[in-house]
Copies of this chain bind each other. A is one copy, B any other.
Amino acid sequence: MTQLSSAKDGIITDEMKTVAAQERLQPEEIRALIASGRVLIPKNLNRNFTPRGIGKRLKTKVNANLGTSGDHFELEDELKKLKAAQDAGADSVMDLSTGGDLAEMRKAIIENSELMVGTVPIYGVATELSRRDMDITVMTADMLFEEIERQCEEGVDFITVHCGVTQRSASFADSSKRVGGIVSRGGSLLSAWIRKNKKENPLYTDYDRLLKIAYKHDVTLSLGDGLRPGAIADATDQAQIEELLIIGELTRKAREKGVQVMVEGPGHVPLNQIKANMQLQQRICDEAPFYVLGPLTTDCAPGYDHITAAIGGAIAAAEGADFLCVVTPAEHLCLPSPEDIYTGVMGTRIAAHSGDIVKGVGGAWEQSLEMSKCRKRLDWEGMFKYALDPEMAKKRREISKGSEKEVCTMCGKLCAVNLHNITA
């Protein structure tokens, strides 16, 4: 039984009770939201950890990407990144490794993570082929499905599968039509495979095989946006929307089979197209939980893309995105360090919190209100308590203590709050 099939059968699982308590909703509300496909609890049947829910009426969740590359693959560094993500308050991690012993990395992450763990199984196939000096085009459907099955058996909670990259949809991402082409690794691998083999994407044609594997382990499918725009100029284009339409169909099929499913979204999107993107996904995919990467609101900020992503992510969350993927300051430049992961998670949490204030979920409004009350009474311990990063706030205040105890060194004696308190 999956969380979805249980919910459809009217069963409230322990996981639903846990999530209900976290979100201050009734277990029956959670069950109904899951049954309708609007909420997920990604948790492999083989894993044991405190689950979290993703979707409508819940707090917006945050995922941090970990993973090695061919240029850097130290297990110890990956575990440091995992710790950084957890310390910073992420809700999930994805192991996107493409370098070193992938099975070993994945095993270590799954064992050490207190959070849900996601992967992109095609990376395993591509990495192995690359190691043997072969390219992705020699991949067989069996190789891909066997890798998926192996990872599901190992205990991953959700997998990104780029089922919507088809001959037709990928053709719209040709360089002749796009500035940025394809920037998703999975999308790029599958489109190369499709083009060379002149065949349809096996994840699309053999989708039922995928559903069976996912159902068996209650692994949540994250329908990847292999054709997401990688440039502001490509946002909301035909390739992206063609893929979304396919994903909408596949979402309905997964739900019918009792498989939990979410949808991945862009990417690089100008400010004035984010709302439309959120509405489109919610309509086309029947309010399936939406997992977005950014979106980045300009292409021009390498080194600061955690900020660019926070801008887009906040608007996305406010307009209905349920799950934000962290973008770190390393994006577009290099593999992130543990510090980058920490900074990225914090930026994304600010975006999620800003969205949750207007969504009216997860107690975000109340937290902001309590923070403001503490500010008004210059109650520093209270301010630390309600801060998204209490340690950072404490540290900054500590290193800059002024002569006046109550106020801060920005205004000192001329503190507006203090003056208003004593005169009004």
Q: Which one of A76-84, A202-210, A247-255, A305-313 is at the interface?
A: A305-313
CB proximity to B under 8 Å, residues A83-97: none
A231: B residues at CB distance < 8 A: 368-369, 372, 375-376
Contact with B along A272-310 (1 / 0, CB 8 A): 100000000000000000000000011111111011101
Cβ of A416 within 8 Å of any chain B Cβ, yes or no, is yes
Q: Which one of A36-44, A110-118, A402-410 is at the interface?
A: A402-410
From B234, B355, B416, A185 is in contact (CB under 8 Å) with B416
A184: B residues at CB distance < 8 A: 416
From B126, B310, B333, B376, A181 is in contact (CB under 8 Å) with B376
Cβ of A103 within 8 Å of any chain B Cβ, yes or no, is no
Q: Which one of A5-13, A45-53, A258-266, A381-389 is at the interface?
A: A381-389
CB proximity to B under 8 Å, residues A297-344: 297-304, 306-308, 310-311, 314-315, 318, 329-336
Indicate if the CB atoms of A332 and B408 lie closer than 8 Å: yes
Cβ of A1 within 8 Å of any chain B Cβ, yes or no, is no
Cβ of A421 within 8 Å of any chain B Cβ, yes or no, is yes
From B98, B234, B271, A314 is in contact (CB under 8 Å) with B271
The range of chain A's interface size is 35 or more
Indicate if the CB atoms of A271 and B357 lie closer than 8 Å: yes
Kindly provide the distance from the CB of A66 to the nearest chain B CB, expressed in whole angstroms.
Answer: 12
A187: B residues at CB distance < 8 A: 416
Q: Knowing A298-B364, A307-B310, A375-B332 are in contact, say whether A71-B409 is a contact too (CB < 8 A).
A: yes
Cβ of A245 within 8 Å of any chain B Cβ, yes or no, is no
CA distance A358 to B346 in the complex (A): 27
Q: Knowing A332-B408, A375-B332, A396-B330 are in contact, say whether A420-B232 is a contact too (CB < 8 A).
A: no
CB proximity to B under 8 Å, residues A152-186: 173-175, 179-185
CA distance A191 to B47 in the complex (A): 60
Q: Knowing A230-B375, A358-B270, A412-B71 are in contact, say whether A174-B424 is a contact too (CB < 8 A).
A: yes
CA distance A379 to B325 in the complex (A): 27
Cβ of A188 within 8 Å of any chain B Cβ, yes or no, is yes
- A–B complex contacts, Cβ < 8 Å, 6 sampled: A69-B402, A70-B413, A72-B409, A233-B368, A315-B315, A336-B410
Closest 4 CB pairs of A and B: A231-B372, A334-B400, A70-B412, A303-B392
